[in-house]
Amino acid sequence: MTPSRLARVARLLLGLAGLAALALAWEAGHRAFGPFVLPSPVEAADTLIRLFADGIALPALRVTVANALGGFLAGAVLGTALGVLAGLSWPVGAALRPVMTITLGVPPIAWVVLALLWFGPQGGAPAFTVLVTAMPIVFAGAAQGVCARDPKLSEMARVYGAPPMLRLRALLLPQLLDHLLPALATALAFAWKVSVMAEVLGGGTGIGGAIAEARAHLDLPETMAWILLVVLLLLVFDGILLSPIRRRLAERGEGASRPAAARPVGAG
């Protein structure tokens, strides 16, 4: 109907076409190299359904979600709080920035090893690793969001005597979200990967633990099924948690995309 709606439908269709191409390439790989190298997508999906039916997938899923989301939320809260602080006060920022750079620089795999040594394979190693990986990413986004505030708007708020809470709600938060949201999306994507990785290395529970077990049995279809599950998780949570906020942010620029609406009355 409207151009923007048409664009949305087109985007969805093209996205599906891309996914279909990926599935086709997977299937082609399966035909070229055989089921011992790459099981077919249909087989992987079948296996996933069987894993759910057998009551194996759900408990593993629950553990991984708890690890990934718990670590992500803790990291997001900590990262946002410290990032906002760093953005508002430059001494805090100057002190925290190198610490965060180092935290970001340590490879997640090294954190996994450390966490396993500290907490043991059954403890909070995956959640901790996720926290440590997510925090500096969110920190950078939050600090940048605060630093990138429009000083002219801040001055306007000052002149009008806006109290701190109003400035936070009406000025700081909207500007912060612009930078914070992409950082949160990135951190969430990392959360699943890191959590599964830590679980694989810990050889314990969760989807990662199941992948480790599938590998031990050289069970490729099951490995692919678990990978499918992780990807699905990422998509679902990205859609539930971040898409609504992203949509609200996009609405802000709406006026610019409709020049016809910007014309009217003017001279009055």
Partner 1 sequence: MLRFDKISLGFGDGPVLKNFSLEVLPGEVVVLLGRSGCGKTTLLRLAAGLLRPDAGRVANGFSRTAVVFQEPRLLPWSSARENVAFALAARGVPPAERDACAKALLARFGFAAADMEKRPLALSGGMQSRVAIARALVVEPDLVLMDEPFAALDIGLRRDLQDLVRETVESTRRAVLFVTHDVTEAVRLADRLVVLSPRPAKIVHEARTVPVVDPARIHMAAAALLDRPEVSGALMLSGRPPAATPVEEGYAEMPAVPDCVSGAAG
What is the contact surface with partner 1 in residues (CB under 8 A)? 152-153, 155-163, 166, 170-171, 174, 252-256, 258, 261-268
Residue 242 CA, distance from chain mean position:
8
Token pair for 182: 């992409």
Q: How far is the CB of 242 from partner 1 (least distance, A)?
A: 18
Between 36 and 160, CB nearer to partner 1: 160
- Report the Cα–Cα distance between both ends of the chain, in Å, rounded: 32
Between 152 and 217, CB nearer to partner 1: 152
Q: How far is the CB of 254 from partner 1 (least distance, A)?
A: 7
Between 29 and 174, CB nearer to partner 1: 174
Q: How far is the CB of 261 from partner 1 (least distance, A)?
A: 5
Tell which residue, 195, 205, 200, has the closest CA to residue 108.
195
Q: Taking a C-beta distance cutoff of 8 angstroms, is the pair 133, 67 a contact?
A: no
Q: How far is the CB of 246 from partner 1 (least distance, A)?
A: 14
Q: How far is the CB of 3 from partner 1 (least distance, A)?
A: 16
State how far the Cα of 241 lies from the Cα of 247, in Å rounded to an integer.
11
Q: Taking a C-beta distance cutoff of 8 angstroms, is the pair 155, 167 a contact?
A: no
Which residues, 6 or more positions from 103, have their beta carbon under 8 angstroms from its beta carbon? 132, 135, 136
Token pair for 95: 């002190």
Between 55 and 161, CB nearer to partner 1: 161
Following DSSP, what letter does each residue of 77-107 receive, concatenated?
A: HHHHHHHHHHHH-HHHHHHHHHHHHHHHHS-
Ramachandran class of 208: left when φ > 0, alpha when ψ lies in -120 to 50, beta otherwise? alpha
At 266 the three-state DSSP class reads: coil
- C-beta pairs of 156-163 under 8 Å, 24+ apart in sequence: none
Between 74 and 153, CB nearer to partner 1: 153
Q: How far is the CB of 4 from partner 1 (least distance, A)?
A: 14
Between 122 and 257, CB nearer to partner 1: 257
Between 44 and 172, CB nearer to partner 1: 172
Q: How far is the CB of 248 from partner 1 (least distance, A)?
A: 9
